[in-house]
């Protein structure tokens, strides 16, 4: 689960960088999520692309610091005007949130998680059973969401053609 979440964060960071490379205005990209970057870090970048990647990473971390997966996904969707189908996000959300429980709560489900995501089948104050079907479903739902992000980004030309894989 941790690896899948890390892949999602890497993808979203690359999406932000791609939007910057394609000319999305900095006011729209950064918006209310102001960031500060050390001059030494900027000077350490050897190329403009490296500067853009640095800014995208800092922006992603700034949004992620709100500690809400749904706010993170919503903020990126809004900044890039993707209009990712809500269903794709809602279907993946329980599994992205599950990662937080595994990392920050030793896999113990709290009452809020159980109420918000009953399909997971968790019991409050008990460890979540990580079965193969649960992990396979998590992976499939998260991939479906990322495919929707990709489709929307490509359709709206959010990323440069050079960033697209053949």
Provide the pLDDT for residue 144. Answer: 94
Write down the pLDDT at residue 165: 62
Secondary structure (3-state) at 84? coil
Structure tokens that stand for 109 in this block? 């489900």
Residue whose C-alpha is closest to residue 9's, from 48, 65, 51, 78: 65
Please name which of 10, 17, 7, 149 lies closest in space to residue 73, comparing C-alpha atoms.
149
166 residues of the chain, pLDDT tens digit each? 667 888 899 999 999 998 888 888 788 878 788 888 889 999 999 999 999 999 899 999 888 888 888 999 999 999 999 999 999 999 999 999 888 888 888 888 889 888 999 888 888 888 888 889 988 999 999 999 999 999 999 888 887 776 666 5
Query: Tokens standing for 40?
Result: 């030494």
pLDDT of residue 54: 92
pLDDT of residue 131: 86
- Three-state SS at 61: helix
pLDDT of residue 80: 92
Q: What local confidence, expressed as pLDDT, does residue 1 receive?
A: 66
What is the predicted pLDDT for the residue at 100?
81
CB-side neighbour CA atoms (13 Å) of 86: 0
For residue 85, give every residue at least 6 positions away whose Cβ sits within 8 Å of its Cβ, in sequence order, or none. 148
Angle of CA points 113, 78, 93, to nearest 5°: 20
- The domain limits of the chain are 2-83, 86-141
Report in angstroms the alpha-carbon separations of 61 from 68, 101, 120, 148.
Answer: 12, 19, 28, 22
Q: Pull the structure tokens for residue 149.
A: 């992000």
């Amino acid at each position: 689960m941790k690896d899948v979440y890390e892949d999602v964060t890497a993808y979203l960071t690359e999406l932000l960088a791609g939007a910057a490379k394609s000319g999305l205005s900095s006011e729209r990209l950064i918006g209310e999520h102001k960031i500060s970057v050390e001059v030494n870090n900027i000077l350490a970048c050897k190329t403009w692309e490296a500067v853009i990647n640095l800014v995208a990473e800092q922006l992603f971390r700034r949004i992620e610091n709100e500690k809400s997966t749904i706010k993170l996904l919503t903020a990126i969707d809004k900044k890039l005007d993707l209009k990712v189908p809500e269903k794709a996000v809602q279907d993946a959300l329980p599994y992205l949130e599950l990662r937080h429980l595994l990392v920050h709560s030793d896999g113990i489900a709290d009452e809020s998680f159980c109420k918000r995501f009953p399909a997971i089948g968790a019991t409050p104050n008990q460890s979540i059973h990580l079965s193969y079907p649960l992990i396979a479903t998590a992976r499939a739902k998260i991939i479906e969401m990322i495919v929707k992000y990709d489709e929307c980004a490509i359709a709206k030309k959010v990323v440069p053609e050079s960033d697209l894989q053949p």
